[in-house]
């Protein structure tokens, strides 16, 4: 059996080894999940809700441990990792709350009664990237389980520890064997099997657009249901009439949170020409003060990048580019890269490609139409922000930017109460929000004759 060495990105040291699930064990787990589905779908709604709330309680009790695992194995700051574990708890609780309210419709028809049911799909395969191992797992498994499906979950090869722990917590909370199974291993083995196995009825994939396209093609073979959450190249648009102090203070967090390894990172900074000089004056101290340090310290705002290879890829975008200013990062071992702001241009690699690191590319714009044109000059369409005091402009620009999640005078794009997902090549379907469980069901229409 092969295993994967799990490294601490802050030090480069090995923490542990995790066995990769071989193909025959993946098939066996899918078979168990298929059997478990027959009883799980039949659990009374109130009992299924109770079990998911118990799962949420078990997560709650384990938050310090889960957070510590994520700090050590993914380099997340302790503040973020604690929030992320809490997000799993909240998402479980939120979808547990919908189980007893998941009603169909009675539709008036001649000659009888017509009712609809939300039937669960069966086994759902969730494929998770390394950048947010806990929340992204929860956004898939919580609504899927709530809707009556069973779940097999593949964490990213380099960050399986918190997912494995969540699998243990589910069992401790009383979820029946086979209802939620975590299968660490390679995308090309475990993830690919979710796509090809006929008993996996839906795939939820979060990751790169490149792999997402291949998964979409693979799922077409069986017309397999699919949700995709892919990459982003998101704009932070600062108009001259904005509260420039507030916009400058928030810009580093909007781009550098999780070391920029965030599909919602506002890595394009578009500033109205007339306000550029003043804005950069305000931005520079905010970037230099952004605390990139040992992620286990309480005041860390950003930790290291995930791997040495990823750090080298990020550095490649900065080499030869025009650096406006950089913050500080620890030196020595670990995969560190400092917060960086580039004087950029449309059409450059740093402006067009998803760097997935702590790099902001600054480009000026002339007016509202120009800002919208530049923000939309990408095949991605995940999120974005705009800063203005003009309410009409806030509405016009929010409607005109082709992205799934926009924030005005804020960079918040993920709230579990509201739908999340991408336009264009940033995704397919939506996660979170009140309707997420519907994406894990088929609508069945039943007509009962009164003749
Ligand atoms: P990735 O290479 O696409 O991997 C994502 C997941 O897919 C991993 O678990 C990976 O396994 C697995 N995988 C790889 N090849 C596969 C295959 N042929 N079949 C099935 N599964 C396969 O992405 P990443 O490098 O981990 O993550 C970074 C990317 O994710 C960025 O582009 C980012 O924007 C995107 N992302 C998007 C969102 C969103 O919500 N829109 C959220 C987070 C991240 P391995 O670990 O073995 O490679
Ligand atoms: Mg990858």
Q: In this predicted structure, what is the pLDDT of residue 161?
A: 98
Which residues touch 208 (CB under 8 Å, ≥6 apart)? Answer: 129, 230, 231
Ligand of minimum distance to the alpha carbon of 154: 1
Identify which of 187, 221, 234 to mutate to test ligand 1's pocket (most ligand atoms within 8 A of the CB). Answer: 187
Q: How far is CA 13 from CA 6, 73, 160, 259, 312, in A?
A: 9, 10, 16, 19, 18
Contact between residue 371 and residue 393 where contact means Cβ atoms under 8 Å apart:
no
> ∠ CA(365), CA(371), CA(373), 5° rounding?
120
Q: At residue 100, does pLDDT exceed 90?
A: yes
The DSSP code for 401 is S
Q: Is 255 within 8 Å of 413 (Cβ atoms)?
A: no
- 376-406 confidence digits (pLDDT tens): 999 999 999 999 999 999 999 999 999 999 9
Q: Provide the β-strand partners of residue 428.
A: 228
pLDDT at residue 280 above 80? Answer: yes
Encode pLDDT of 1-17 as tens digits.
799 999 999 999 999 99
Instruction: Read off the pLDDT of residues 118-155 as tens digits, 9 standing for 90 and up.
Output: 999 999 999 999 999 999 999 999 999 999 999 999 99
- Give the per-residue pLDDT at 101: 94
421 lines ligand 1 (CB under 6 A): no
| pLDDT (tens digit per residue) in 78-92 | 999 999 999 999 999
| Mutation probe of ligand 1 site: the residue of 208, 215, 414 with most atoms within 8 A of C-beta | 208
Average pLDDT, whole number, for the chain? Answer: 98
CA quadruple 143, 148, 154, 160: dihedral positive or negative? positive
Band (pLDDT 50/70/90 cuts) for residue 264 is very high
- Identify whether the C-beta of residue 195 lies closer than 8 Å to the C-beta of residue 397: no
Strand 225-229 with 235-238, pairing: unpaired
192 lines ligand 1 (CB under 6 A): yes
- pLDDT tens readout for residues 32-54: 999 999 999 999 999 999 999 99
pLDDT at 1: 74
Q: Among the atoms of ligand 1, which is closest to the Cα of residue 214?
A: 18
The predicted structure's pLDDT at residue 332: 86
Take atom 35 of ligand 1 and give the residue whose Cα is closest. 207
Residue 329 Cβ < 6 Å to ligand 1: no
pLDDT at position 171 is: 98
Q: Is 342 helix (H, G, I), strand (E, B) or coil?
A: strand
Q: Which residue's CA lies nearest to atom 23 of ligand 1?
A: 207
Residue 98 has pLDDT above 80, yes or no: yes
pLDDT for 407-438, tens place per residue? 999 999 899 999 999 999 999 999 999 999 99
170 alpha carbon – ligand 1 mean position (Å): 24
Q: Which residues are catalytic?
A: 229, 263
């Amino acid at each position: 059996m092969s295993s994967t060495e799990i490294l601490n990105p802050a030090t480069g040291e090995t923490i542990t080894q995790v066995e990769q699930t071989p193909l025959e064990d993946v098939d066996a787990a899918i078979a168990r999940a298929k059997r478990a589905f027959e009883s799980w779908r039949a659990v009374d709604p109130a009992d299924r809700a109770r079990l998911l709330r118990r799962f949420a309680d078990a997560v709650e009790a384990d938050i310090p441990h889960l957070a510590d695992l994520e700090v050590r194995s993914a380099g997340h700051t302790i503040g973020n990792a604690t929030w992320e574990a809490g997000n799993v708890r909240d998402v479980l609780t939120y979808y547990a709350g919908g189980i007893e309210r998941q009603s169909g419709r009675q539709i008036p028809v001649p000659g009888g009664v017509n009712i609809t049911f939300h039937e669960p799909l069966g086994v759902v395969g969730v494929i998770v990237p390394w950048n947010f191992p806990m929340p992204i797992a929860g956004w898939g498994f919580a609504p899927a389980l709530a809707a009556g499906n069973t779940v097999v979950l593949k964490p990213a090869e380099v960050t399986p520890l918190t997912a494995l722990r969540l699998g243990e917590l589910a069992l401790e909370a009383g979820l029946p064997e086979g209802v939620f199974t975590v299968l660490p291993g390679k995308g090309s083995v475990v993830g690919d099997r979710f796509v090809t196995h006929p008993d996996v009825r839906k795939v939820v994939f979060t990751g790169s657009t490149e792999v997402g396209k291949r998964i979409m093609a693979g799922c077409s073979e069986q017309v397999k249901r699919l949700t995709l959450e892919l990459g982003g190249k998101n704009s932070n648009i600062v108009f001259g009439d904005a509260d420039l102090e507030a916009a400058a203070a928030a810009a580093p967090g909007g781009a550098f949170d999780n070391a920029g390894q965030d599909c919602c990172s506002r890595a394009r900074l578009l500033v109205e020409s007339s306000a550029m000089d003043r804005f950069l004056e305000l931005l520079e101290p905010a970037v230099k003060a952004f605390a990139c340090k040992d992620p286990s310290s309480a005041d860390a705002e950003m930790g290291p990048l995930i791997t040495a290879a990823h750090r080298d890829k990020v550095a490649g975008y900065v080499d030869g580019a025009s650096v406006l200013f950089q913050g500080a990062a620890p030196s020595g071992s670990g995969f560190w890269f400092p917060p960086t702001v580039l004087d950029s241009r449309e059409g450059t690699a740093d402006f067009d490609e998803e760097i997935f690191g702590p790099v902001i590319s600054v480009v000026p714009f002339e007016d509202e139409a120009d800002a919208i044109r530049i923000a939309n000059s990408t095949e991605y369409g995940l999120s974005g922000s705009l800063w203005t005091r003009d309410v009409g402009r806030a509405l016009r620009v929010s409607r005109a930017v082709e992205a799934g999640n926009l924030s005005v005078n804020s960079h918040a794009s993920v709230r579990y109460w509201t739908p999340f997902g991408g336009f264009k090549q940033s995704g397919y379907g939506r996660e979170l929000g009140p309707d997420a469980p519907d994406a894990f069901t088929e609508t069945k229409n039943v007509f009962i004759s009164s003749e």
